[in-house]
A and B are shown apart, each in its own frame.
Chain A
Amino acid sequence: MTSAILAQPAAGQSGAVIETQTHPGQYRHWKLRCEGPVAHLIMDVREDAGLHPGYELRLNSYDLGVDIELADAVTRLRFEHPEVSVVVLTSGKDNVFCAGANIFMLRQASHPFKVNFCKYTNETRLAMEEATRESGQYYLAALNGVCSGGGYELALACQEIHLIDDRSSAVSLPEAPYLGVLPGTGGLTRVVDKRHVRRDLADVFATLAEGVKGQRAKEWKLVDAVHPKSQWSAAIARRAQELVKPGRPQRGIALEPLDKRREADRIDYSHVTLSVDRAARTARLELRGPHTAAPLPAEPAQAGSRWYPLALFRELDDALVELRLNFETIGVLTLHAQGDLDKVLAVDELLARHRHDWFVREVLLLMRRTLKRLDLTARSVFALVEPGSCFGGFLCEPALAADRIYMIDDPHQPTALALSPLNNGSFPMGNGLARLAQRFLDDPARVAALQLDTRPRFSPQEALAAGLVTAAPDSLDWDDELRIAVEERASLSPDALTGMEANLRFAGPETMETKIFGRLSAWQNWIFQRPNATGERGALSLYGEPASPEFDPRRT
């Protein structure tokens, strides 16, 4: 019954594989111009360069391809241009900043693709905010024209929003009135949670299709400043200069292209392999330990983008994006780490010792974002601690992000799992908690009892007793238990599992970040499935068509 879907080629809409890696030389939709401490990130979307056929990216509207470039630019700015302290985000088109996500693209997209598109764009927005907060790269939105929907959400992800006052350019979130859906990239949440727009004004704003212009936009706190057209460029330049912070590192590193080889059912990277079994709907994600743990150069950045932990997590991040976009039907991901635990812990020690260096700090932040990406990946994740595995310190963190951890208990082939101080705060989840702290939400003393400073190692029985692993089957049981657990998991309803895992993964406090993903997953995806949006007579289906939508009037 699912065979028809399993037989479909990978990927969202047309069946083509979505390429997840890019670099500025390949950008089709963005220009990145760095002038000393100020960078200009200019959106200039090519209408005819959509990821899939069937729509044109008019008015700087975007699809996933546009956002993949944006995400790349945000990351590169941090590693390649650490001298930049202000990023001016603007448009290369006259009179239009950005019209938001392309509606015709959304309409033709499958539901899983829509969800993954929204999720990815949210992760990019959060990366911009994190860059402002953690890396001192201040994002300034310079809205030089109409800014609606996802365009305004992009602006909301910036720290400061400036709007041109030409008596026609407005900011708006017209999703509800025009499309019968929500501004799904954190739009509503950021309006009230981040910008603290008064709720009744926000209510008016979010239903006002034409949006709000000029001085009123500023009064309502929708933007921070408005400038007449004649003074626009000078005002933005002046403000950017005001925001420049001195004392930045001057030399970045080049993020070299990933060493990535794709075959039909696997992707090999230098330290990571993702292999899938489409019939079984399972994937194996293998992370390999470092060959060496050589000390860092005096200038750590000289280690470059091939430095093991950076290369590993860039590859892991890419593999997760690949899994989401190009392997939709894979349900269960088993996570493996093969290598020398001693060397992993030596690298862990380097990371900890140099954590205040700008480069090492960026590496740690990239790890943090990647691990959040894993938290937010809607696949069942089982980490398997097997003979020869090297889950330790920073490399134990992916296991801690898994839904379950199985550790083989075989006296003939001892296995160990190790923790380090990095596991307690260097990689907070979206809710602000370390994964260890969240694991022991009932008793914070249990984290202290682990004595992370000693980089403790745990045998299977110790790990079981410490609550670090779910089960420790012996070698006689291992194959059966794992096979049955994985097969049984893969047989359950994919939707129920997505909901269940999201419920269980994020115990603890709510943050703007968790609200955004929670609401995206629950509200927006609910609305996307409802006839009022995507039914034959739904608003999203009929946008731009001559017919008017017809709603089921019953409120839930």
Chain B
Amino acid sequence: MLEAIPNNVNLSDDPKLQRALLRWQPQFKEWWLDMGPDGFQKDEIYLRTAVSVEPGGWAHWDTVKLPDYRFGIFLAGPRKLEEIYFGDNIGRKLWTQVPGEFRKELRRLIVTQGDTEPASVEQQRQLGKTAPSLIDLRALFQVNAEEARHLWAMVYLLHSHFGSDGRAEAEELLQRRSGHPDHPRILQAFNKPIRDWLAFFCFTTFTDRDGKFQLASLAESSFDPLARTTNFMLTEEAFHMATGEKGVGRVIERTAQLMRAGTDPAAVGAIPLGVIQKYINEWSSATFDLFGAEDSSNAATFFAAGLKGRFQEGSDKRYADHVALEGAYEAEVYEGGHWTRKEIPKRRAMNAYLLDAYEDECRRVVGKWNKVLERYDIGETLTLPSLRFNRKVGIYSDQPYDAHGQPITRAALDAEIERLLPNPDDYALVERCMVPVYAPGKVANWIAPPDKGVGGKPADFAYVRFH
């Protein structure tokens, strides 16, 4: 049963891993059937499977059924360096085993990251029923399968390095369920369903991008197996973000086309630009919270121990100082009626640094979307809300701010909120747009067609064959 698992971790010679997987794999299969995409189990889907870490090995294209998808276990190749390069342990050899001293921190990082992977599959399991095209339906299943594979990657770490406790944790990753009243997923953002495709594209743009930044910071880890595992996951994560970014771009394009033609998008089953902006506000601000408090002692511990670096910590161009004991992160917060400068010691501000890098990238994405709008010359732009907007976590959560980051009273914000975040009418409107289009080469009316196909196939290829 284990022979079919693509891997580069020497599974056939690792009795410890074999034993763990023999028990876990059947449970995973059960979960994938129960909690993976609802329906479509008999259909043939053109999917990419990672079969090796060689160039191109991450993308072996084939037609498979979802239950037969081959989930693999891969580590990126060895890193060029052998020594720890940030935190308190600089200069020591990278750890190939879990240091007992940091067992609890590593376990927490891996379990928290691992929990988000199956969670997103659960959140997205109904979306196939309203896919706007076959190429989008394929993309959804690709994202789902790869997120599930990312669960395997984290489980591999638990199985290989955390003994019986790791095996128990790996099982609990399958037992928690998104939105379950008794055993929900760990992070709150992963407990609400993604009910429409605009939400899916926003999720893959913004929330998967948080995943990218978290994985990137773990890819700096001094615990080498974690760094190499997450490094490989980043390749796939990039595709997920592209799915979202292009998806939202196509929605914007369709809306712009209609506006340019003088048609009210809402009147023809498409999505008004204002609703798109509200979705951007909702998903970006919810994702800001996923980075955790700007001032965090956990983040300081992770950095000091060398378990989690900043974004591209290894690049000396980005950071001259890899110890980060001196200096502070500065932020402007509005407190007691005036702006004050808040200084957070660098190490405690690691979440804030990561969030800033994330925000930069999100701004570039929104910039690309505005290029689409420019092409249609309709005099409208989209914006990324301020980091201070709609925060439930961190230094901006005590005082309400508007989307520009200006302080506002709670009452004023409540009055504005309908304009800033999707309301029930907006959701209903988007939901009305969600009609499935399963004919090859056709797309729903609310979204522009993709500019090209994937996997060497044309845009009108039958990416999903129904049975």
Contacts and interface: CB of A to CB of B under 8 A. Distances in A.
B63 to A, nearest CB: 38
Nearest to B160: A480
Interface string A455-485: 0000000000000000001001100110111
Interface stretch (B98-106, B198-206, B283-291, B400-408): B98-106
Interface stretch (A25-33, A211-219, A488-496): A488-496
Contacts of B19: 476
Most central of B15, B161, B162, B164 by chain A CB within 10 Å: B164
A486 B163 CA distance: 14
Contact of A487 (B16, B101, B163): B101
Contact of A483 (B16, B100, B164): B100
B214 to A, nearest CB: 24
Contact of B101 (A473, A480, A488): A488
B423 interface: no
Nearest to B88: A1
B101 A481 contact: no
Nearest to A486: B100
Contacts of A483: 97, 100
Contacts of A476: 15-16, 19
Given A476-B16, A476-B19, A491 B163 contact: no
Contacts of A480: 16, 97, 161-163
B164 A484 contact: no
Given A476-B15, A476-B16, A476-B19, A485 B164 contact: no
Given A476-B15, A476-B19, A477-B16, A488 B100 contact: yes
A473 B19 CA distance: 13
A473 B100 contact: no
A476 B164 CA distance: 10
Contacts of B101: 487-488, 490-491
A476 to B, nearest CB: 4
Secondary structure at chain B's binding surface: helix, strand, loop or mixed? helix
Interface residues of B, number: 14
B165 to A, nearest CB: 8
B103 A473 contact: no
B16 A484 contact: no
A489 B101 CA distance: 8
A331 to B, nearest CB: 12
Contacts of A477: 16, 163-164
Contacts of B98: 484
A488 B105 CA distance: 11
Interface in A354-382: none
Most central of B98, B162, B163, B164 by chain A CB within 10 Å: B163
A91 B16 CA distance: 67
Interface in B76-103: 97-101, 103
Contacts of B164: 473, 477, 481
A491 B99 CA distance: 10
A303 B100 CA distance: 46
B255 to A, nearest CB: 55
A491 to B, nearest CB: 3
A487 B100 contact: yes
B51 to A, nearest CB: 27
B211 to A, nearest CB: 28
A475 to B, nearest CB: 9
A485 B162 CA distance: 11
A417 B19 CA distance: 27
Contacts of A484: 98, 100, 103, 162-163
A485 B100 contact: yes
B111 to A, nearest CB: 16
Interface string B1-28: 0000000000000011001000000000
Interface string B130-158: 00000000000000000000000000000
B99 A473 contact: no
Contacts of A487: 99-101, 103
Nearest to B167: A477
A73 to B, nearest CB: 43
A206 to B, nearest CB: 45
Contacts of A488: 100-101, 103-104
A481 B167 CA distance: 12
Interface in B91-125: 97-101, 103-104
Interface in B350-404: none
B158 to A, nearest CB: 12
A484 B99 CA distance: 7
A489 B104 CA distance: 12
Interface in B290-332: none
A487 B15 CA distance: 24
A126 B399 CA distance: 65
A374 B100 CA distance: 25
A484 B104 CA distance: 10
A486 B100 CA distance: 7
Contacts of A486: 100
A241 B16 CA distance: 72
A477 B17 CA distance: 10
Interface in B147-205: 161-164
A15 B200 CA distance: 67
A486 to B, nearest CB: 6
B392 to A, nearest CB: 34
Contacts of B161: 480
Nearest to B14: A476
Contacts of A481: 163-164
A128 B352 CA distance: 64
A107 B15 CA distance: 58
A494 to B, nearest CB: 13
Nearest to A484: B100
A525 B300 CA distance: 33
A487 B100 CA distance: 4
Contact of A489 (B16, B97, B100, B163): B100
A486 B104 CA distance: 14
Most central of A481, A483, A484 by chain B CB within 10 Å: A484
Contacts of B99: 487
Given A473-B163, A480-B161, A481-B164, A490 B15 contact: no
A480 B161 CA distance: 7
Interface string B419-459: 00000000000000000000000000000000000000000
B124 to A, nearest CB: 35
Contacts of A491: 100-101
A489 B100 CA distance: 8
Contacts of A490: 100-101
Contacts of A473: 163-164
A484 to B, nearest CB: 4
A491 B106 CA distance: 15
A477 B98 CA distance: 14
Nearest to B19: A476
B225 to A, nearest CB: 13
Interface string A488-523: 111100000000000000000000000000000000
Nearest to B165: A481
Interface string A99-113: 000000000000000
A483 B101 CA distance: 10
Contacts of B103: 484, 487-488
26 contacts: A473-B163, A476-B16, A476-B19, A477-B16, A477-B163, A480-B16, A480-B97, A480-B163, A481-B163, A481-B164, A483-B100, A484-B98, A484-B103, A484-B162, A485-B100, A486-B100, A487-B99, A487-B100, A487-B101, A488-B100, A488-B101, A488-B103, A489-B100, A490-B100, A490-B101, A491-B100
Given A473-B163, A476-B16, 18 more contacts: A476-B15, A476-B19, A480-B16, A480-B162, A480-B163, A481-B164, A483-B97, A483-B100, A484-B100, A484-B103, A485-B100, A486-B100, A487-B100, A487-B101, A488-B103, A488-B104, A489-B100, A491-B100
Interface of A: 473, 476-477, 480-481, 483-491
Closest 9 CB pairs of A and B: A487-B100, A491-B101, A488-B100, A481-B163, A476-B16, A484-B100, A477-B163, A480-B163, A488-B103
